[in-house]
Amino acid sequence: MTCKNKLNRREFLKQSAVTAAALATGLGVRPVFASKKNTILTRTGKKVVIIGIDGMDPLLSEKMMKQGKLPNLARLAELGGYKRLGTSIPPQSPVAWASFINGAGPGSHGIFDFIHRNPEKQCAPFFSAAETVPGEGYLEIGDHKLQLDFWPFNHQQSQTLLRRKGTPFWDYLDAAGIPSVFYDLPSNYPPSPSKHGNHRCLSGMGTPDMTGTYGTYQYFSEDGPTQTRHEGGGQRSLIFFDNETSQPGLKINGPSNSFLKQPEPATIEFTVYRDKQARAAVIEIQGRKIVLKEGRWSRWIKLDFGLSMPSFMPDKKIPGICRFYLQQVGPNFSLYVSPINIDPSEPAIPITEPSTFITDISRDLGQFYTTGFQEDHKALSNGIFSDAEFASQAEYVLQERLNLLEYARDDYDDGLLFFYFSSTDMQSHMLWWDSDEKHPTRSRSDAKTYFNHLKTIYTRMDTMVGDVVKRYGKEALVLVMSDHGFANFRRQFNLNTWLKENGYIQPSGATSVLGDVDWSGTSAYGLGINGLYINRFGRERYGTVRSGSEYEVLAGELIAKLEAVTDRDGRNVIRKVHRTDRTFSGPETALAPDLIVGYSRDYRASWDTCLGGMGSDILSDNDSAWSADHCADVSEVPGVLFCNRPISAGSPALIDLAPTILAEFGLKTPGTMEGSAIF
């Protein structure tokens, strides 16, 4: 039997359940968590402040503390307030942050990877943290379709579902009348509701842009393709000039019009007037003119995308925001348009709890990035940005985040304040390189230069922590934590190629588990960054491996062989393979892989493996600007925990922080939590 689910990486990112309709909001999709009640915050006088610094690495932090470059963090360490923080299995961000949220591992929240599969459809992939469920039924009117959820139609509208299961620890605070507020929290889109009105949250990682993806830039250049070409994370289009005026019909794509029977993106036309001598251009769009010098960014620009409706209904207007970057005027004109972000002053979909929280913030701060992934790493990986341009764009993100922190501090009285920084994670993926070995894309000197740039981000985080401790240290418990650390990503392991060459995937000519696999002869396959699935009878649609001794023998054989894989220099590629039935406990293990592959430092699953592909070689060099990662074994990439109080726990872990927070407010650790208080 052969799988017919043919899907490449770009199509998956374009069509995936999370991204394809997640923002239809005013367009028909209803986020399942959207509280309309007004927030009624009580006051307790107790304060806990948590700063989440994603990806902050203990090895680098300890080295820089010894060098005197992180004096504020070093001061906390000298007082006994520093430990390495155990991360999740696997140490992927959505898994780790969900474990922090629940105070328990993946068996409690059901997130095991960025990518899950539907076993009933034989390995059909979807994003794990949120999923859009299509609606049912509609009324056809010409070229349009309308979903009417009232009698006598009773159509079922689409819904975006938060797939993180279990009880977030703030629900216990909410029920106890203790206020909590979270800024840019990962693994919480759509934002979960506050039943008692004591919880506020701005969603972070997982929040889509207005095209329904995790961030799709638009790039216009004179050497662009004649037909718009889509690439992972962006699209390229041709621009040409006649008497220094761009061609007519130049368009920016926005949200898809799901009211059409054949949905298509809403577009906005714009015109560019180029002045080569002044090294500048004027962008004319929706009645306004934006003047930019070469190498400069615009401010946030508000755009209104029109969605056509049947003739008896007014057309809809959906707002979004973007920024323009005039990369080059000549000889090859090039213009970058950021992903179309949700407008925080007029959000098309709820990305905060309560829904009015985002507009409260925007009244003070104006427009700002709202997508979950804000540093445009795809523009660097795809050759749109240079290293310097990526660092510059990431600096805008950090400045906005620091401005948001000022707002958060001014708006905070007591209870729990959580604030998240992404810079140490996303810039580490692109700029980290703590080795003299050859970098995938940079010269040795440039690799050192940009790693030093990353170190300056660490020093700025140290300054920020110092300010927070100075302001709150005498009256609040202050925790500074990261979800995992970092390591170079030099070599990629093609798991499915290895499985095929060792006879676990058939036929020998297969190229993808989403395409041409003979499932009747296949016993195991890889999907996601760390997941390995056994093709179990009765679970997978075309399962062949029966429970009992057959399963046990195969699982043991796979573990032994994988842990014995070595590279050309004799190094072990895989540190440990974890059996999930012996690692995870809890009610949400139905979608768990059978095995979690924990890679050694310098190694990670190949890009092909993530969506079921098979490269030509089992091991190959990573040739991407994404040159560092943390999807290794749990033992390789712990996070950090700093505190303004001595930490008594010998080996604290992510799952211990929720019980610690509850204990600080006088609440008992619920039976659903696996962790324990660190003091």
- Tokens for 324, please give them: 């323009």
3-state secondary structure of 172: helix
Q: Taking the model in full, what pTM does it have?
A: 0.93
pLDDT in the model for residue 44: 60
pLDDT more than 90, % of the chain:
86
pLDDT at 215 over 70: yes
**What is the per-residue DSSP string for 398-441?**
HHHHHHHHHHHHHH--SEEEEEEE-HHHHHHHHH---SSSPPSS
Average pLDDT over residues 588-610: 97
Cα 355 to chain center, whole Å?
A: 21
pLDDT at 552 over 50: yes
Residues 415 and 44: their CA atoms lie apart, in Å, by 6
- Tokens for 301, please give them: 């620009």
Residues 6+ apart with CB under 8 A from 473: 644
pLDDT digits (tens, 9 = 90+) for 12-44: 433 343 333 334 434 444 444 334 334 444 556
Quote the strand ranges of 10-155, DSSP E: 30-31, 47-53, 82-85, 115-118, 124-127, 130-133, 139-141, 144-146
pLDDT in the model for residue 315: 86
Residues 128 and 18: their CA atoms lie apart, in Å, by 8
**What is the per-residue DSSP string for 184-239?**
EESS-SSPPP-SSS-EEEEE-TT---TTSSS--EEEEETTS-SS-EEETTEEEEE-
pLDDT at 453 over 60: yes
57-66: list long-range contacts, CB under 8 Å, 24+ apart. Answer: 57/428, 57/482, 57/485, 57/486, 57/637, 57/640, 58/84, 58/85, 58/485, 58/638, 58/639, 58/640, 59/485, 60/434, 60/455, 60/458, 60/485, 60/486, 61/458, 61/640, 64/455, 64/458, 64/459
- Tokens for 602, please give them: 């310098």
pLDDT in the model for residue 134: 79
pLDDT digits (tens, 9 = 90+) for 457-487: 999 999 999 999 999 989 999 999 999 999 9
pLDDT in the model for residue 148: 81
3-state secondary structure of 9: helix
pLDDT, the chain, mean: 92
Residues 96 and 205: their CA atoms lie apart, in Å, by 12
pLDDT in the model for residue 43: 55
Which one, of 418, 503, 554, 461, lies nearest residue 50 by Cα?
418
Residues 95 and 105: their CA atoms lie apart, in Å, by 8
- Tokens for 416, please give them: 């729990």
- Tokens for 427, please give them: 């810039």
* Angle ∠(607,612,613) on CA atoms, nearest 5: 60
pLDDT at 607 over 60: yes
φ, ψ of residue 488 to 5 degrees: the values are -60, 150
Which one, of 211, 151, 159, lies nearest residue 371 by Cα?
211
pLDDT in the model for residue 146: 84
pLDDT at 416 over 70: yes
Is the preceding peptide bond at 208 cis, omega within 30 degrees of 0?
no
Average pLDDT over residues 388-394: 98
Phi-psi region of 567 (alpha: psi -120 to 50; beta: other; left: phi over 0): beta
pLDDT at 410 over 80: yes
pLDDT in the model for residue 261: 85
Which one, of 629, 225, 183, 624, lies nearest residue 418 by Cα?
183
pLDDT at 269 over 50: yes
Average pLDDT over residues 400-424: 97
- Tokens for 283, please give them: 């962008």
pLDDT digits (tens, 9 = 90+) for 293-332: 999 999 999 999 999 888 888 888 999 999 999 999 999 9
pLDDT digits (tens, 9 = 90+) for 626-668: 999 999 999 999 999 999 999 999 999 999 999 999 999 999 9
Residues 649 and 114: their CA atoms lie apart, in Å, by 30
- Tokens for 201, please give them: 């949250």
pLDDT digits (tens, 9 = 90+) for 515-531: 999 999 999 999 999 99
